[in-house]
Amino acid sequence: MLKPKLMARMHKAFVCFLLLASAPAMTRVAFGQSSGPSYWVQERQLEDSRRARMTRPHIIRVQPSRSSGRANGYHIHHFARPAPTHAPNAAPAANAATNPVPAAPAVITPPDFFVAVMGNGISLPLAAALTDTFATTHPDMAFQKDSKPLSGLVRADFFDWAKSAQAILNAQPAIQLGIMMVGTNDRQPILDGANYVQPFTPRWSEIYAQRVAAIDSLFQQKHVPLIWVGLPIVRSPQLSTAYIALNDIYRAQAAKTGATYIDIWDAFLSETGTYEANGPNVNGDIVKLRMFDGIHFTQAGARKIAHFLEAAVQQAYLKIHPADAPTLTSLLPAPGTSTPDSATPAANVDTSPLVSAQPVVKSPAADLGALIQLEIAGLPPGSDAQKAELAARLKANPPLPQQPSVVVIKTEPAEGKVMLLRAPQFGSDNALLDNAQMAQRDAKVREAFENGNLPEAEPGRPGAFAWPPH
């Protein structure tokens, strides 16, 4: 028999259970709502309606497939809640402001001046650098990369540049300019008949010059200008010496055929005249110009070469497009007119483009300073007295004879402020050294290493062992 206390506790628990079970019904009765089983039906319907309004995955039963990798055979598709619909904007102007009309596409200028950039691996980044150089000023220029890595003018059995140049000249679209930068792989014996000739012997140089002349003659026959780009200094002293000899051949051959030779040797020297991998770019910032092998160029180095090629490329471009060049206007009035603004140029006045492959020949009659002096002397422009005076000067000082058409361009700016494009030298205090300081430093170094005379230590430095101390 159960104890009375335990019975009392069980009775209380049973009463609490009944109260909790009937609490919803008692609540609805208190608020005038229905009670009994209908309450649970209504609660279930409310719960179903709440779930129906929620976003949930839509499950579609499909046949299991081995290829799908789904063992349970269910595909679950998630459907997003539909976006709320809004009333159309009342102000069309505001809608146009938030959704502006897209700008018209930029007009692309088709290229009509084609340049072939040829050579071995050292010329690979040059085409892209030239494209960047003329992208804004001449978008109608197209630089095609016709470089062949590991090639040269010695191993014609590996790659014959004469045949390749002929194919480039015959291809379409026709090129208007050729740029050649080659020679870094040519310090090797050359085949002469059945024998090999050692590099840079007289016979070797003769055969090599003949191969350079063969390429020049191909471009000369097609009346296409050719630019030879000289080789730069490299890390290896032996290769640098060989490249100097090759540059002499390129320069001499350009002088014979009237080609253009670009000397870039000084542009990549350090302040002491040695090889330097880092140096100033076209903006004057010190950057890495050479690759890890000490021969090839980085993109910044190629862009620096393109800077020195810009004038020569511009000259060739103005031959094809003379209307794009500024012309010299006539300084003398035409016969029969009283004003110097006539459109007809006077005799002996050069109206050719300012940039030309040949030097501009100016006569004394076209000298602006002479005209100003005559006007100061009281001879008005266009008067008979001025014409007579100019004719007398022209007879006394005839125009200079035509100069050869050879153009050898050095890597120096044609105008503007001269800016040092070499790596600066710094002292121990991180200050720039001038020529006197550098000479004094070099003298101390030679005295220490050649004669063994060490300089005296400065007072207060750790190396000062004088006694008594200063």
Measured CA distances, 124 to 164, 242, 246, 299, 424 (Å): 16, 21, 20, 10, 29
Domain count for the chain: 3
Q: Is residue 133 domain-shared with residue 197, that is, in the same domain?
A: yes
Q: Please check whether residue 269 lies inside any domain of the structure.
A: yes
End-to-end distance of the chain based on CA atoms, in angstroms?
A: 116
Q: Please check whether residue 381 lies inside any domain of the structure.
A: yes
E-strand stretches of 343-460: 407-410
Is the predicted pLDDT of residue 40 greater than 90, yes or no?
no
465 contacts: CB under 8 Å, gap ≥ 6:
457
Measured CA distances, 142 to 112, 118, 178, 307 (Å): 8, 14, 12, 17
Q: Is residue 248 domain-shared with residue 190, that is, in the same domain?
A: yes
Q: Is residue 389 domain-shared with residue 429, that is, in the same domain?
A: no
Q: Is residue 200 domain-shared with residue 298, that is, in the same domain?
A: yes
310 — alpha (psi -120 to 50), left (phi > 0) or beta? alpha
Chosen domain end from 308, 323, 338: 323
* pLDDT, tens digit (0-9, with 9 covering 90-100), for 379-427: 555 667 666 766 676 666 655 444 444 455 555 544 444 444 544 555 5
- Distance between CA atoms of 295 and 301, rounded to whole angstroms? 11
CATH number of the domain that 269 lies in? 3.40.50.1110
The residue whose two tokens read 């009281």 is 378
423 — alpha (psi -120 to 50), left (phi > 0) or beta? beta
Q: Is residue 295 domain-shared with residue 441, that is, in the same domain?
A: no
Q: Is residue 279 domain-shared with residue 383, that is, in the same domain?
A: no
326-343 residues labelled b (16+ CB within 10 A) or e (exposed): eeeebbbbbeeeeebebe
Q: Is residue 304 domain-shared with residue 382, that is, in the same domain?
A: no
State the pLDDT at residue 322. Answer: 79
Mean pLDDT of all residues in 26-46: 64
Q: Please check whether residue 173 lies inside any domain of the structure.
A: yes
Mean pLDDT of all residues in 162-168: 95
Q: Please check whether residue 75 lies inside any domain of the structure.
A: no
- Distance between CA atoms of 334 and 345, rounded to whole angstroms? 6
Beta bridge partners of 179: 117, 227
Q: Please check whether residue 450 lies inside any domain of the structure.
A: yes
Q: Is residue 249 domain-shared with residue 318, that is, in the same domain?
A: yes
Q: Which domain holds residue 443?
A: 425-456
Q: Please check whether residue 49 lies inside any domain of the structure.
A: no
The answer to whether the pTM exceeds 0.85 is: no
- Distance between CA atoms of 169 and 131, rounded to whole angstroms? 20
375 — alpha (psi -120 to 50), left (phi > 0) or beta? alpha
Q: Please check whether residue 169 lies inside any domain of the structure.
A: yes
Q: Is residue 131 domain-shared with residue 196, that is, in the same domain?
A: yes
Across the chain, what does the average pLDDT equal?
73
Q: Is residue 117 domain-shared with residue 231, that is, in the same domain?
A: yes
In the chain, the percentage of residues whose pLDDT exceeds 70 is 57
Is 248:401 a contact under the CB 8 Å cutoff? no
Q: Is residue 211 domain-shared with residue 154, that is, in the same domain?
A: yes
Chosen domain end from 323, 357, 384: 323
Is the predicted pLDDT of residue 201 greater than 90, yes or no?
yes
* pLDDT, tens digit (0-9, with 9 covering 90-100), for 207-264: 999 999 999 999 999 999 999 999 999 999 999 999 999 999 999 999 998 899 999 9
The more confidently predicted of residues 47 and 22 is: 47
Q: Is residue 319 domain-shared with residue 449, that is, in the same domain?
A: no
The number of beta carbons lying within 10 Å of the beta carbon of residue 29 is 14
Concatenating the DSSP letter of every residue in 292-337 gives: TTSSSB-HHHHHHHHHHHHHHHHHHHHHH-GGGS-BPPPSSPPTT-
The number of beta carbons lying within 10 Å of the beta carbon of residue 212 is 24
Chosen domain end from 323, 350, 382: 323
Q: Please check whether residue 82 lies inside any domain of the structure.
A: no
